Amino acid sequence: MTVHDRIVAEPFSLQRRNPAGGTKPLTAWGFANETDVLTDVLLGSPNFLRHLSTSSLSRKHLREAPCNVQIAQAQHKDLVAAYEHFGVNIHWHEPTPELPMQVYSRDSSVMTPYGAFITAMANWWRRGENYAAIRTYEKLGIPIYDMVTAGTFEGGDFNVIEDGVVLIGCGGARTQEEGARQVQAWFDKEGWETRIAFIDEYYVHIDLMVVPIAEKLTAVCLACTEPGIVDWLKGKGHEIIDVPFQDTMALGCNFMSLGKDRVIAPTSSQSLIGQLKARGFEVAAVDMSEISKTGGGIHCMAQALKREPA
């Protein structure tokens, strides 16, 4: 199905959410979970990338060894090549010099089964990404489910664990409780099971420490994830692959599942890669060591637009 066909199938609107719940899922876009087969992804260009003080992690690298932007841009090309290798259709935000962090396309919006919702960025120099995201979705013909208005909220804190179950991160600095509660209320009305994970702001977003790999298989940094969250996952029948703390702080738990036992992961995450390969997964390992100095990893740099059951 071409983008034109999808636009015909799903006309663009700025607020598709039914306030009473029961919003009808899209047919041309969206997904039920983060582990089905990825067919379409939204990326942001690193053409105008700058290393800014967006989090404790990026500030640490600014002090010690700032990002070499040219190397970072080359690493992002390798990431794009990995998606192309797996046959994923790539869609792009329009790059502009006013948006130096747009490469992190996970943050400014969140795709859902019902359309995309627009987040509310915490850093003032990133708030323009929210407006640019609306333009991108209009161009693609993807309806807007709703927009976060109650407080800051960023896309790395919306973690679909399985069909109809979402783990919402709240660190206070990048995602405020007011924003998290607003998003939680939307999905409660849609009949989802929702859980808010209150995390230390040092860890930025929940997808630094918890990311689904495949059905009932989830990567978790046990050293920094609340035991209650781990027990909750295990209670749902999830097997846990532990990602060591040092690897997690290097964005080693921030990977992208493509479905059908395929994953794109950073080369530095050797423990995770080894465990996945031992289970028969195909892993495309990409060196992200330089670009990740600016504050995010592979999962942060991608917004899944459509997934299909295997």
Task: Write out pLDDT tens, residues 45-82.
Answer: 999 999 999 888 889 899 999 999 999 999 999 999 99
Q: How confident is the model over 256-265, as a mean pLDDT? A: 98
Given pLDDT bands bounded at 50, 70 and 90, which one contains residue 5?
A: low
Burial status of residue 200 (CB atoms within 10 A of its CB: 0-12, 13-18, 19 or more): exposed
Q: What is the largest CA-CA distance in the chain?
A: 51
Question: What is the structure's pLDDT at 133?
Answer: 98
Q: Which two tokens stand for residue 139?
A: 């161009």
Residue 11 confidence class, pLDDT cut points 50, 70, 90: confident
Flag whether 13 is in a domain. no
Residue 6 has pLDDT above 80, yes or no: no
Give the separation between CA 172 and CA 234, rounded to whole angstroms.
26
* Cβ 248 vs Cβ 207: under 8 Å: no
pTM of the model: 0.95
When divided into structural domains, the chain yields a total of 1
CATH, residue 283? 3.75.10.10
What residues make up the domain containing 266?
35-306
CA 111 to chain centre: 9
pLDDT, averaged across the chain: 96
pLDDT in tens, 195-237: 999 999 999 999 999 999 999 999 999 999 999 999 999 999 9
| 280 located within any domain | yes
pLDDT confidence tier of residue 10, bands split at 50, 70 and 90: confident
User: In this predicted structure, what is the pLDDT of residue 2?
Assistant: 64
Report if residue 83 sits inside a domain: yes
Q: Is residue 1 part of a domain?
A: no
* Residue 3 located in a structural domain: no
In a domain, 10, yes or no: no
pLDDT of residue 8: 55
Q: Judge whether 6 lies within some domain.
A: no
Share of the chain above pLDDT 70, in %: 97
3-state secondary structure of 218: strand
For residue 301, being part of any structural domain is answered with yes
